[in-house]
A = this chain, B = another copy of it.
Amino acid sequence: MDQLSSVVSRLQMVSTSDYSSVVSMNLFVALLCACIVIGHLLEENRWMNESITALVIGVCTGVIILLVSGGKSSHLLVFSEDLFFIYLLPPIIFNAGFQVKKKQFFRNFITIMLFGAIGTLISCTIISLGAMQAFKRLDIGSLDLGDFLAIGAIFAATDSVCTLQVLNQDETPLLYSLVFGEGVVNDATSVVLFNAIQSFDLSNLNTSSAFQLLGNFLYLFFASTMLGVITGLLSAYIIKKLYFARHSTDREVALMMLMAYLSYMLAELFDMSGILTVFFCGIVMSHYTWHNVTESSRITTKHAFATLSFVAEIFLFLYVGMDALDIEKWRFVSDSPGTSVAVSSILMGLVMLGRAAFVFPLSFVSNLMKKSPTDKVGFKQQIVIWWAGLMRGAVSTVLAYNQFTRSGHTQLRGNAVMITSTITVVLFSTVVFGLMTKPLIRLLLPQQKAAISMVLSDPPTQKSVTTPLLEQSQDSEADLGSTPLGNGIHRPGSLRALLNAPTHTVHYYWRKFDDGFMRPVFGGRGFVPFVPGSPTERSVRQWN
């Protein structure tokens, strides 16, 4: 029996070098499964969503681990920025770009940019100044000017992932595109701003450095966007040229996945914003590449990307929930719980104030520019936009860790307080605001649901129900199916096609350029050469 047990113990050595990491992975995968099942059971619930479920399960698991380990640790994996920025964020943002309603997004492009760039700057300034004033009277240790500016950037980062879960692209398309589009630009702005603040010589501020910052931001924005567009077009071109009449689903899917990931990694390599790059890569891929592949590839990519994004999101919230109980961070706080509560409340208030300070004025500016009354953002919608963007999530957490810890450990009192306050704000905003968003939308905009469900051309039994992410996945087809120009496919009786008729000249010229040059080169709906009996034939037939 000695030999048997030693055989068994050696087996483990070959299989994997670290036993405890296997235990952690088992538990983590099992928890992910539990989140999916429980999230499904709570689906009908009007308050809950998958993020909150994962967060709550994460906190509960954290408590259990804390008790089992005798108060030593509360989480299974060591959180690293790499894990977040290299593995979890890319699929989430890519999928958002891949399945966003392109028409809505580009119609509101100026408003989105206003909210995302100018709005974030306003929000950041207000939070920084407010924190500077408010924290003077509290005893929270030493924080310098750089720390306060960093606090502004940290708490200006909207959680676009959570927004995806509470807003519904089919029920409130305008709000969804505004809040989510803003979220993506805002993520990029916050990261750029944060880095700029960390590296700036704060003792020597002047006008030229402000212009440098602005120039740097504009350069990053355009370069990142172009990189994403070029990678997307390259994938479309390769698949169109190589796979003509000789389709192979697995190669196409693999190539799309790898090139999407490559765009993100290239952006990281060239020190650009990977978030923006992969978002625009997703948009271009859904507009061109997706139409060059077989019907099986289309279904596979649509759902595989959505699934990857879905799992990454749950993973993220599960981790944030577990990490919230990390004992080291709370040691300093336990001495003076009042201070910590005060700091968190002040920050939460500043977040709300900072967001209000740009949503309402910028909505007013945006409404001035719009001609048609259907495009204008009403006051009730403005309230929803303000509310839905109040959640703070993983980006804030990662930035706070970066500023206030040295490799995950908090030594100074001021730093520890800021970390715990960030966690408190993230938990509070995600759970409380997240829970209240669905009822709030139902209260403020009760007519939306009925109106839109009439317009949808998919039969309700065919589409998956209730989670925003899943409904979204119907979009790529629906969105493209209603294009009134180009390929002569006009879906009769579709109200949306009439509503979305291109009134803007920019859109008209884009259509002309797209149909005259882009689609013949890169493929796209109606422009992939027709091969009788090929997989594309069936899909064209089916969708008419």
Chain multiplicity (copies) = 2
CB-CB < 8 A to A271: which residues of B?
Answer: 8-9, 11-12, 15
* Shortest Cβ gap from A273 to chain B (Å): 8
Indicate whether A368 reaches chain B with its CB closer than 8 angstroms.
no
CA distance in complex: A261, B29 (Å): 8
Among the 9-residue stretches A69-77, A248-256, A420-428, A505-513, the one with 4 or more Cβ atoms under 8 Å from chain B is A248-256
CA distance in complex: A85, B307 (Å): 24
Indicate whether A134 reaches chain B with its CB closer than 8 angstroms.
no
Assuming the contacts A16-B82, A304-B300, asked whether A191 and B29 have C-beta atoms less than 8 A apart, the reply is no
CB-CB < 8 A to A18: which residues of B?
Answer: 82
CB-CB < 8 A to A82: which residues of B?
Answer: 16-18
Pick the contact of A299: B14, B300, B464 (CB < 8 A): B300
CB-CB < 8 A to A26: which residues of B?
Answer: 262, 265-266, 269
Counting chain A residues whose Cβ lies within 8 A of the other chain, the interface size class is: 35 or more
CA distance in complex: A40, B247 (Å): 10
CB-CB < 8 A to A33: which residues of B?
Answer: 255, 258-259, 262
CB-CB < 8 A to A16: which residues of B?
Answer: 81-82, 85-86, 268
CB-CB < 8 A to A533: which residues of B?
Answer: 459, 461
CB-CB < 8 A to A448: which residues of B?
Answer: none
CA distance in complex: A41, B251 (Å): 12
A268/B22 in contact, CB under 8 A: yes
* Shortest Cβ gap from A353 to chain B (Å): 26
Indicate whether A144 reaches chain B with its CB closer than 8 angstroms.
no
Assuming the contacts A304-B304, A311-B254, asked whether A7 and B81 have C-beta atoms less than 8 A apart, the reply is no
CB-CB < 8 A to A30: which residues of B?
Answer: 262
CB-CB < 8 A to A209: which residues of B?
Answer: 3
Indicate whether A36 reaches chain B with its CB closer than 8 angstroms.
yes
A198/B40 in contact, CB under 8 A: no
User: What 0/1 readout, one digit per residue, does chain A (19-34) give for beta carbons within 8 Å of chain B?
Assistant: 0001101100110110
CA distance in complex: A191, B259 (Å): 36
B198/A10 in contact, CB under 8 A: yes
Indicate whether A345 reaches chain B with its CB closer than 8 angstroms.
no
CB-CB < 8 A to A399: which residues of B?
Answer: 14
Indicate whether A196 reaches chain B with its CB closer than 8 angstroms.
yes
Extra pairs beyond A26-B262, A40-B242 (16, CB < 8 Å): A3-B201, A7-B200, A9-B271, A10-B196, A10-B198, A12-B271, A15-B271, A17-B81, A40-B251, A249-B470, A250-B469, A250-B470, A253-B304, A257-B307, A459-B533, A461-B535
10 A-B pairs within 8 Å (CB atoms) are namely A3-B199, A3-B201, A3-B212, A22-B265, A43-B246, A249-B473, A253-B303, A300-B302, A300-B303, A303-B304
